[in-house]
């Protein structure tokens, strides 16, 4: 579905990504795994058009999206939940979710469906997003991304700094999206989280995409993880 073919990208004259290739398939969670600064977040930003690619091609369902503007990418069906949540803190919970409905034009049906996934948000629709707890903010950021009804969902460390009950809730939604046929790309640092929900893992090192392995292989031989992140 979403294919990155030998992507180069960076910030100004600093090249971060070199010949990065990977593929996210429908109904599958692909995890990007690597040390801090390896280039995982830059890969997400390159897909979203926030970092310009200087070589290579990104295709979605065969369509080249490498040259689209950042605001055109979500309209192709790619949802992104960045690191640090980045809510519109002065808008209410409901208005944040509605901000995501622009692309899907799904209206009340989609809003209700998204809220059903995160029941705690239902009672806080009129509350300003900036006043929510960290876990609730992550729920809202996830809900807002789901409101565009993505075919591909990008999550950058969605469980960072959350309490275990919240982690479980976010994790369940990600699995639910996968089971509904969404292609998920997940950046995650926690090995247990990776191994419990990922279908495949692509290792990122110094801006290069190294090998891609099935999670079952890693589960049976954890020494491979040591090779890339020294855990």
**Which residues of the chain form contacts with another protein (CB under 8 A)?**
48, 50, 69-75, 80, 82, 86-91, 95, 98-100, 102-103, 126, 128, 144, 148
Please, what is the minimum distance in Å from the beta carbon of residue 20 to another protein? 20
Tell me how far apart the alpha carbons of residues 159 and 213 are, in angstroms, rounded to a whole number. Answer: 23
Nearer to another protein, 19 or 98 (CB): 98
Q: Which two tokens stand for residue 27?
A: 């109904």
Please, what is the minimum distance in Å from the beta carbon of residue 50 to another protein? 7
Please, what is the minimum distance in Å from the beta carbon of residue 148 to another protein? 7
Q: How many CA atoms lie within 13 A of 66 on its CB side?
A: 16
Please, what is the minimum distance in Å from the beta carbon of residue 66 to another protein? 16
Q: Is 168 helix (H, G, I), strand (E, B) or coil?
A: helix
Please, what is the minimum distance in Å from the beta carbon of residue 125 to another protein? 10
> Torsion-angle region of residue 127: left (phi > 0), alpha (psi -120 to 50) or beta?
beta
Please, what is the minimum distance in Å from the beta carbon of residue 86 to another protein? 5
**Residue 118: how many other CB atoms lie within 10 Å:** 21
Under DSSP, the state recorded for 129 is G
R_g (Cα) of the chain, nearest Å = 17
Tell me how far apart the alpha carbons of residues 204 and 182 are, in angstroms, rounded to a whole number. Answer: 22
Nearer to another protein, 115 or 215 (CB): 115
Strand-pairing partners, residue 187, are 32, 156
Say which residue the tokens 């020294």 belong to. 230
From residue 57, how far is each of 19, 22, 23, 27, 212 by CA, in Å? 10, 11, 12, 23, 19
């Amino acid at each position: 579905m979403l294919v990155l073919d030998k992507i180069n990208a960076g910030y100004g004259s600093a090249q971060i990504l070199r010949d990065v290739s990977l593929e996210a398939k429908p109904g599958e969670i692909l995890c990007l795994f690597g040390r801090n600064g390896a280039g995982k977040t830059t890969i997400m930003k390159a897909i979203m058009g926030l970092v310009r690619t200087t070589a290579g091609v990104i295709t979605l369902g065969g369509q080249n999206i490498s040259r689209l503007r950042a605001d055109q990418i979500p309209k192709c069906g790619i949802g992104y939940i960045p690191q640090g949540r980045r809510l519109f803190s002065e808008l209410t919970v409901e208005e944040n979710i509605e901000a995501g409905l622009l692309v899907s034009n799904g209206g009340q049906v989609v809003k209700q469906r998204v809220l059903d996934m995160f029941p705690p948000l239902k009672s806080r629709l009129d509350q300003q997003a900036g006043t929510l707890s960290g876990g609730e903010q992550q729920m809202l950021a996830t809900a807002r991304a789901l409101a565009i009804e993505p075919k591909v969902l990008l999550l950058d460390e969605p469980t960072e700094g959350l309490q275990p009950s919240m982690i479980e809730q976010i994790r369940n939604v990600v699995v639910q999206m996968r089971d509904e046929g969404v292609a998920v790309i997940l950046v995650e640092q926690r090995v247990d989280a990776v191994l419990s929900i990922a279908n495949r893992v692509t290792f990122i090192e110094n801006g290069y995409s190294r090998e891609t392995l099935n999670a079952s292989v890693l589960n049976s031989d954890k020494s491979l993880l040591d090779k890339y992140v020294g855990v």
